[in-house]
């Protein structure tokens, strides 16, 4: 069974370089036989959180929210591609995730971070770990970090230079880790109903 992986990206900046990493991940997971889908927070266009998906009466949620809830529930795993804003999370991606809660439960999540500088979004990665855990996901221990994002991936998301080579070398372990937890979680959900 092919893993259904949602890859979330959240920058709203006009010159978005991190989208290259998200596109690389879509291609790299597809090449391994998974079924990845990019969820771009800017394209989804949810408003600032006023009401969570679960707070709408059944069938009354805005169409974009309803569609995304269905995709999240059907997914086997998640990858969060995050830049770093002042040592913290991108507000667009955080806003998107906060619209949901139970939809995330009992699935693994992975974090891929990036920045223009050498720290590669490490602070945002740490912040996301706690957030995703609180939202009911199992966050895998492997992470991807890409510093100098504009020099590591070209406009199509293809690895270039030393940074791209390091990314391509690190990806298989990252993907193997996520795949292991994805299979384990899927089998456990099929065997035993979640406790809540």
Tens of pLDDT, residue by residue over 75-118, are 999 999 999 888 889 999 999 999 999 999 999 999 999 998 88
Is 196 contained in some domain?
Answer: no
Cα Rg of the chain (Å, integer): 16
Quote the tokens at residue 194: 């979640």
Assess contact for 60 and 52: CB atoms under 8 A.
no
> What's the CATH number where 95 sits?
3.40.50.360
Kindly give the pairing relationship between strand 77-82 and strand 35-40: unpaired
pTM here is: 0.96
Angle at 26 between CA 123 and CA 118, to 5 degrees: 30
Instruction: Quote the number of domains for the chain.
Output: 1
């Amino acid at each position: 069974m092919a893993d259904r992986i949602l890859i979330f990206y959240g920058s709203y900046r006009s010159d978005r370089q991190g989208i290259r990493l998200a596109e690389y991940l879509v291609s790299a997971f597809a090449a391994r036989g998974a079924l990845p889908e990019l969820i771009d927070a800017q394209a989804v266009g949810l408003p600032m959180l006023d009401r969570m998906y679960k707070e709408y009466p059944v069938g009354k949620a805005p169409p974009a929210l309803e569609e995304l809830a269905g995709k999240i529930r059907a997914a086997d795993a998640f990858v969060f591609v995050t830049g770093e804003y002042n040592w913290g999370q991108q507000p667009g991606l955080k806003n998107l995730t906060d619209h949901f809660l139970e939809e995330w439960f009992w699935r693994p999540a992975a974090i891929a971070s990036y920045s223009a500088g050498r720290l590669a979004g490490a602070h945002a990665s740490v912040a996301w770990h706690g957030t995703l855990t609180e939202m009911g996901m199992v966050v895998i221990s492997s992470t991807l970090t890409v510093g100098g994002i504009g020099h590591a991936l070209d406009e199509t998301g293809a690895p270039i230079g030393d940074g791209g080579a390091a990314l391509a070398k690190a990806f298989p372990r990252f993907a193997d880790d996520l795949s292991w937890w994805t299979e384990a979680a899927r089998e456990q959900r099929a065997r035993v109903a979640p406790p809540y």
